[in-house]
Amino acid sequence: MRTNSAIIILSLLLLGGCAASSPEPKGDSVVNVIKQECGNNDIHIKDIKGRKKSDGFMQVQVIGESNSDKYQRLEYRIVWFDKQGFVIDTILSNWTVVPAYAHQPFHVNVISPSVKAKTFRIYIRNEKEIICDQQQDGLE
Amino acid sequence: MRSTARWTGVGLITVGLLIGGCAPKTQNIDMHNDKEAEAVMGLDYRDFQTAAQEMIQSMITSGAVSKPGGGKYVLAVSNVVNDTMQHIDTDQLVKKMRVGLLKSGKVVVTTAVSAEGAEDKMAMKTRQELRGNEEFKQSTVAKKGQMIAPDLSLSGKIIQRNISIDRSTQQVEYYFQMTLTDINTGLATWEDEQVIGKRGSNKSVAW
């Protein structure tokens, strides 16, 4: 990777599961909401939340906004972990493009690759600079 | 005479060195970070990866693979038609989807049933040929009525369209279309289409 190809990293670790003996939630439940906002002059990440769905999959939603006059090609990547903190190997953790149009909000909505996913870590990058580097462990 | 032969030899060696020096160096691709490589007009591994990734996401998000009341669906792979000008093995897409769905914990794939007969011929052959064969301990041979019939069937098509933009530029569009059918009802419970577009020189060949 080029040294000048900076990565925007937005890190988040959510605990979405209960103890092994706990039953699966009957309905969808919001497990965490990140209140810290971050970004740079162009890209502003406003909201990140994750939930455990009734079918056992986790879902992550990121809402950001572009303050730039130009279209930006962002990329995100989510690494999923099981309840013991081991990475779940999956094709769904590859970098994925998310378009950020000039002066418009953008959304990322991703489902976990497995019902074993209990936590996750999300990275967002563009090709120029780091706008956010944040990590959170556990439930708020 | 000897001088001519010597110069011919020197010339051949020089040409050989020049040709060898111009040839691109072979190197292994870093499959995890291959952004610097030029896109190609044909389909390459990155396109199949992207298409499979989007399809798995879409299928899981739709809830079509989440069995009401829990448990796992049994999936059979039907026909995925290659309607492009390229020699594609559609397993480049289907295998990635199968692996992703298997890892989801909601689906298991049967290799005993497919559109073209049993995918795993040996599994069927051992049943048919070993059953009743005195050379084999019959308690170790697969019993009748043990195979699980599929609940779902996965089918699809990959389509290619070539469009001439101007004298020097062409556009190639690839459509990945997939359908998940509930075998019991015959209804499609999930469908999606992913489009990958490429624009480049007319001199590039997309097959």
Cα-to-chain-centroid distance, residue A54: 20
Read off the pLDDT of each residue in B117-144 and give the average, rounded to a whole number: 91
By Cβ distance, the residue of A88, A94, A111 closest to B60 is A111
**B29, part of any domain:** no
Residue pair A13/A79 in contact by the 8 Å Cβ criterion: no
Q: What is the mean pLDDT of chain A?
A: 74
**Domain hosting residue B110, numbered range:** 47-201
Domain presence at residue B80: yes
Domain locations in chain A?
A: 29-125
Whether A36 and A134 have beta carbons less than 8 Å apart is answered as yes
Query: What are the phi and psi torsion angles at A26 (to 5°)?
Result: -75, -35
- A90 in contact with B, Cβ within 8 Å: yes
Whether the CA torsion A28, A29, A31, A34 is positive or negative: it is positive
Number of domains in chain B: 1
pLDDT band at A16 (very low <50, low <70, confident <90, very high): very low
Give the ipTM of the model, two decimals please: 0.79
Alpha carbon of B15: minimum distance to chain A alpha carbons (Å): 35
Please report the pLDDT score of residue A29 as a whole number.
56
CATH 3.90.1170.50 is right for the domain spanning A29-125: no
Cβ of A91 and B66 within 8 Å? no
Confidence class for position A22, pLDDT limits 50, 70, 90:
very low
Instruction: Answer positive or negative: Cα dihedral of B64, B67, B72, B77.
Output: negative
Interface test with A, best of B98, B103, B108 (most A CBs within 10 A): B103
Q: What is the pLDDT of residues B142-199, one digit of tens each?
A: 999 999 999 999 999 999 999 999 989 999 999 999 999 999 999 999 999 999 999 9
Q: Report yes or no on B12 lying in a domain.
A: no
Pairwise CA distance, residues B100 & B91, whole Å: 13
Q: Is residue B191 part of a domain?
A: yes
Task: Tell me how far apart the alpha carbons of residues A11 and B138 are, in angstroms, rounded to a whole number.
Answer: 57
Percent of chain B with pLDDT over 90: 67
B69 and B21 in contact (C-beta within 8 Å)? no
Residues 15-54, chain A, touching B (beta carbon < 8 A): none
Q: Which of residues 98-127 of A touch B (CB under 8 A)?
A: 109-116
Report the amino acid identity of residue B168: S
Asked if residue B141 belongs to a domain, the reply is yes
Query: Residue B108: is its pLDDT beyond 80?
Result: yes
CATH number of the domain bearing residue B146: 3.40.50.10610
Q: Which residue of B has its CA nearest to A60?
A: B61
3-state secondary structure of B18: helix
A122: amino acid identity, one letter: I
Instruction: Copy the structure tokens of residue B12.
Output: 């051949």
